[in-house]
Structure 1
Amino acid sequence: MATLREIKRRISGVKSTEKITKAMKMVAAAKLRRAQSALLAARPYSRKLGELVNHLAGGTELDENPLVVERPVNGVAIIVVSADRGFCGSFNSNIIKATVEHIRDNYAELYRSGRVKLFTVGKKSSDFFSKRNYEIAGSYSGIFHDLKFSTAKKLAAEVVKGYLDGSFDRVDVVYSEFKSVMHQNLVVDRFLPIPKESLKTNGPAPKDGHSPMHVELQYIYEPSIASILESLMPKHLEFQIWRMLLESNTAGEGARMAAMDNASENATELISTLSLQYNKARQTAITKELLEVVSGAEALTAAG
């Protein structure tokens, strides 16, 4: 059985840990509020930009647009978005596990022949895949402490350039979408080529005059819808990556806050358990001392 000193030392250690986890929870909560504000501000623009691209795409043929045309897949790139730091439960491990399984289930042959490239965002994914001989086409670590749109723009430019150059024929994304503090939705989806069916969901205004964008006006596009789409689609892709980074950052801070809250609760329960154990041990020690005193007194009385 542990001594009183050992139990007291354990209680002191757990109390110190509890202070740290509570402080980390407060920091994560503050960062979550900032991240959530940025995400909520970006979502409407991202949605409207997507609607605009879809609306334009519905009025033209897309067979000549290189970002839409599908081709035989001889190489794949995957954008993996994790966090820079840990202490966020299974957030990072879920992203990494989903990526490994996605490659194993869909691109095993390409991986064995060295034709799967990764664009890792976040230190955790960068560290994991670089140590396991995956080909890293681009690494973005330490970006979430000061997340900027220029990072998304640079990543989008790298990905689009590689796709247009033929370095890879398909681009997938793996990231976490923020739903709530307690829930993040793991997303594994195609990024390039842009699926035609998704672009055709919103076409030009129907005969009743109401377009899917709820605009009753008819537009004349100059020089042409195709040329406008050609310049608009890269911007659309940039902002989609920006939204993914914001979603992942917010989801990560939410997971970290939940993990630290859970750790604080566990520490409180452990302190309570150890305190009870300490009091029982102390009571046993006192009882033992009293018995020794009484026994000694009785022995003296008997001797006298």
Structure 2
Amino acid sequence: MASLKELRARITSVKSTKKITSAMKMVAAAKLRRAQLHAEAAHPYADAMRRMLGELAASMAGQDGLPRLMTGTGRDQVHLLIPVTSDRGLAGGFNSNVNRTTRQTVRHLQAEGKIVKILPVGRKGADFLAREFADLIIERIPGSSGKEVPFSAASDLGSRVTKMLAAGEFDVCTVIYNRFRSVMSQVPTHMQLIPLELDEADAGQPAAGADQAQYEFEPDEEKLLARLLPRNLQVQIYAAMLDSAAGEQGARMTAMDNATRNAGKAIDRLSQKYNRTRQANITNELMEIISGASAV
């Protein structure tokens, strides 16, 4: 049985932990609102970019010499994966979900005989993947460290990916990140960046029986693609990083709220045990006194 001194020390320790987790919860909640607004504001712009490129792709269907950022290299042998995680932990399953998804994707591609390269964004993902796929990591990209995500981070990463594609270092590029749905829900998501994936709605396919609109582009489609495709790559990466940043704060707030609640329950149990132990000690002392008095 633990002594009263040990129980007091444990209660004091858990109370200190509760103060820390409560403070981290409030900090995460304050950061979450701004991160959520940024992520939600980025989605319409990213969607509009995809639709615009879909209309351009539909107008140029069947033409030769389309940019590599749209078509890729035409092969499917070398895959570049960009997992986006945080630099810090204490966020529940936020990082482990992306890490697990990335590991499954790597194993699946390798089982098909593909070559995999990894460009991790965030320290937690890089550290996890280095334990098993250290030889596949070509560079570690630092995350935002809980701060606001600057567009320059996505711009630099997009430029790096563009240079790698021009050098023929990969055929397919996919970003893996947590898509923010709510404070309680962050969904691991694959988004293929190269070749550009366009569904029927993005590609301007008309519904059955509908008239197909005709577009005239100024300047011509080739010049527009040359300008829009690099920008689109940066925008899609930026939207993924903003989603990840909002999801990180939501996951951390939830995790710290649960930790604070658990600490409170632990304090109640320890306090109850402390009071029972103290009462038992007092009872034993009284019995010893009574026994001694009776013997005299």
Cα distance in 2 for residues equivalent to 1:210 and 1:194: 22
TM-score, normalised via structure 2 length: 0.90
Cα distance in 2 for residues equivalent to 1:129 and 1:95: 11
Shifted more, 160-169 versus 128-137: the winner is 128-137
Specify the alignment match of 2:183 in structure 1: 181
Is residue 276 from structure 1 mapped to residue 272 from structure 2 by the alignment? yes
Specify the alignment match of 1:9 in structure 2: 9
Cα distance in 2 for residues equivalent to 1:208 and 1:105: 41
Shifted more, 192-201 versus 119-128: the winner is 192-201
For residues 237-248 of structure 1, what are the structure 2 equivalents within 5 Å?
237-248=233-244
Q: Say if 1:207 and 1:56 are closer, same or farther in 2 by CA, change over 3 A.
A: farther
Q: Which amino acid aligns with 1:92?
A: N
Deviations, residues 242-299 of structure 1 (Å, cap 9, x unaligned): 0000001111111111111111011000000001101111111111112122222222
SS of the aligned residue for 1:176 comes to strand
Percent identity of equivalent pairs:
40
Specify the alignment match of 1:129 in structure 2: 129
Is residue 257 from structure 1 mapped to residue 250 from structure 2 by the alignment? no
Cα distance in 2 for residues equivalent to 1:88 and 1:267: 17
Cα distance in 2 for residues equivalent to 1:198 and 1:137: 34
For residues 75-154 of structure 1, what are the structure 2 equivalents within 5 Å?
75-108=78-111, 115-132=115-132, 133-144=134-145, 145-154=147-156
Cα distance in 1 for residues equivalent to 2:103 and 2:120: 13
List runs of 5+ in structure 1 lacking aligned partners.
212-217
Residue 74 of structure 1: how far off its partner (Å): 2.9
Task: Work out whether residues 59 and 203 of structure 1, in 8 Å CA contact, stay in contact via their aligned partners in 2.
Answer: no
Shifted more, 200-209 versus 162-171: the winner is 200-209
When Rg is computed on C-alpha atoms for both structures, the one with the higher figure is 1
Residue 82 of structure 1: how far off its partner (Å): 0.6
List runs of 5+ in structure 2 lacking aligned partners.
none
Residue 32 of structure 1: how far off its partner (Å): 1.0
Cα distance in 2 for residues equivalent to 1:196 and 1:53: 9
Deviations, residues 172-212 of structure 1 (Å, cap 9, x unaligned): 1211001111110111232211135457542489996786x
Shifted more, 54-63 versus 29-38: the winner is 54-63
Residue 30 of structure 1: how far off its partner (Å): 1.1
Q: Which amino acid aligns with 2:25?
A: K
